Amino acid sequence: MTTPVLNTGDGTEVELPFVEAVNGDNGYDISKLRAATGNVTLDEAFGNTASCRSEITFIDGEEGILRYRGYPIEQLAEQCSFVEVMWLVIYGELPTKEQVEKFEDELVHNMFLDERMRDLFRCFPRQSHPMPVLSAGICALSTFNRNHVGLGAEDVEIATRKLLAQVPTLAAYAYKNSKGQPFLYPKYDLSYVENFIRLAFGTPAEGYQFDESITQGLNALLVLHADHEQNCSTSTVRMVGSSQANLYVSVASGVNALSGPLHGGANQSVLEMLAAIRDQGIDPKDYLEQVKAKKAGIKLMGFGHRVYKNFDPRAAIIKKYADEILSKSPNGDKELLSIAKRLEEIALEDEYFVSRKLYPNVDFYSGLIYEAMGFPVEMFTVLFAVGRLPGWIAQWREHNADPKARISRPRQIYVGHDKRDVVPMDQR
């Protein structure tokens, strides 16, 4: 491949070295552009900009492909536990049986929070949304581990393990706090995912009865959310980490970025849309006609994705679990599931949606499953955060391990006032 040359029109020519990808979009390295031309590129919302080279996750949005470390998401969701996938995403290879058993055991033995951390939750009002509580809890973890917040390999490994072990506990306590219910202690004889479920739903008064389909479904949902290359929260984690902020506070920034309705909060909007369709007795076909007519306040939530111009592969897997879990669960809203399926069926045959490449995304069915598992809507984004944790950690570590890494510092194109002089107060 010859190196492309950008001719700026005023005789300046800049070489744009070609950056070859293993899969997917190749790139042009524009790092010399400003030095050569005095100008920058403008790419609002980064639709055309690769912010890093990464070995972790590959997405082909046109073909609907998602792979972690080369492994197709379908195989991982079917065959691997969330703990295995954490290991894969962070360390790059699938663990052996011995490695994963030791790792899970270590995580489960570290799920306990420092007792003083429990007091932290009492500072928040009863009805607090669990996302800011989770984020504050993760920042607080850095103070409880203040001797290991460095950037060296040992400290990063300690922070990695602490976060993986304790974020589910924080997430469950954030939920318990919102309900005014007592906090439970983790149990060594339960798996990582079982501990999380019991910490969220158990009470100290009785033993917790696990429903295997819920444990398996949650495991698969966490796997499906484990990483998604340079999405908004992951880019935030990398950017905060680029200032050499520690892993804890960088991850807390990821939680904050995820809390927005355009990112992690989207599955809540899907559930609200489905409930509105049911409550107002709207026929799904009519609803889609209103979407097409761009009727005020009418939107098709959970369809379309910035990267996927085809099925979001995660949505197809989640749909399967939605069927299974909702058919068994007393909480599951089967009416909403059938409205969701009908909307999908009609939209996939309608030229309007097909030509705009609007297909169901990961959020379309996930809220329905979380609800069927017994989680209230405020917890949906928290569950996303528990799933995305290994991805944030892996991406932060990848940046931190790069000897050429620099602090992220985008440029801008200034479009404000030209220079002007301050008018004295009495003349304004």
Nearest distance from C-beta of residue 231 to ligand MLT, angstroms: 3
Nearest distance from C-beta of residue 261 to ligand MLT, angstroms: 12
Q: Which residues contact 62 (CB under 8 A, 6 or more apart)?
A: 309, 310
Site string for ligand MLT, 144-173 (x = CB under 6 A): ------------------------------
**What is the spatial distance between Cα 237 and Cα 307, in angstroms, rounded to a whole number?**
19
Site string for ligand MLT, 231-270 (x = CB under 6 A): x---------------------------------------
Nearest distance from C-beta of residue 219 to ligand MLT, angstroms: 17
What residues numbered 357-416 form the site for ligand MLT, per CB under 6 A? Answer: 362
- For residue 131, give the amino acid letter: M
H-helix segments, 92-225: 97-109, 115-122, 130-144, 153-179, 192-201, 212-225
Nearest distance from C-beta of residue 114 to ligand MLT, angstroms: 31
Query: For residues 241 and 396, is the Cβ–Cβ distance under 8 A?
Result: yes
Enclosing H/E stretch for 332: none
State the catalytic residue, choosing from 228, 312, 363, 399: 363
Going by their DSSP bridges, the two strands 71-72 and 65-68 should be labelled as antiparallel
What angle is formed at CA 102 by the lines to CA 97 and CA 106, rounded to 5 degrees?
150
Number of residues that bind ligand MLT (CB under 6 A): 6
Site string for ligand MLT, 274-313 (x = CB under 6 A): -------------------------------xxx------
Out of 228, 319, 397, 399, the residue judged to bind ligand MLT by CB under 6 A: 228
Q: Which two tokens stand for residue 36?
A: 């050569």
Count other Cβ atoms within 10 Å, centred on residue 125: 9
Q: Is the dihedral of CA 146, 151, 157, 159 positive or negative?
A: positive
Nearest distance from C-beta of residue 22 to ligand MLT, angstroms: 20
Give whichever of 67 and 198 is closer to ligand MLT, judged by the CB atom.
67
In terms of C-beta density within 10 A (0-12 exposed, 13-18 middle, 19 or more buried), how is residue 310 classed?
middle
Q: Which residue bears the tokens 């295995």? A: 84
Nearest distance from C-beta of residue 221 to ligand MLT, angstroms: 12
**Residue nearest ligand MLT, CB atom distance:** 231
In terms of C-beta density within 10 A (0-12 exposed, 13-18 middle, 19 or more buried), how is residue 135 classed?
buried
Query: For residues 191 and 217, is the Cβ–Cβ distance under 8 A?
Result: no
Task: Please count the residues of the chain.
Answer: 428
Q: Is 305 a catalytic residue?
A: yes
CA distances from 188 to 194, 195, 201, 218, 241 (A): 10, 9, 17, 20, 33
Give whichever of 162 and 319 is closer to ligand MLT, judged by the CB atom.
319
Give whichever of 231 and 400 is closer to ligand MLT, judged by the CB atom.
231
Give whichever of 53 and 116 is closer to ligand MLT, judged by the CB atom.
53
State the catalytic residue, choosing from 225, 263, 305, 399: 305
Give whichever of 240 and 362 is closer to ligand MLT, judged by the CB atom.
362
Give whichever of 46 and 112 is closer to ligand MLT, judged by the CB atom.
46
Residues that bind ligand MLT (CB under 6 A): 228, 231, 305-307, 362
- Any idea which residues carry the catalytic annotation? 305, 363
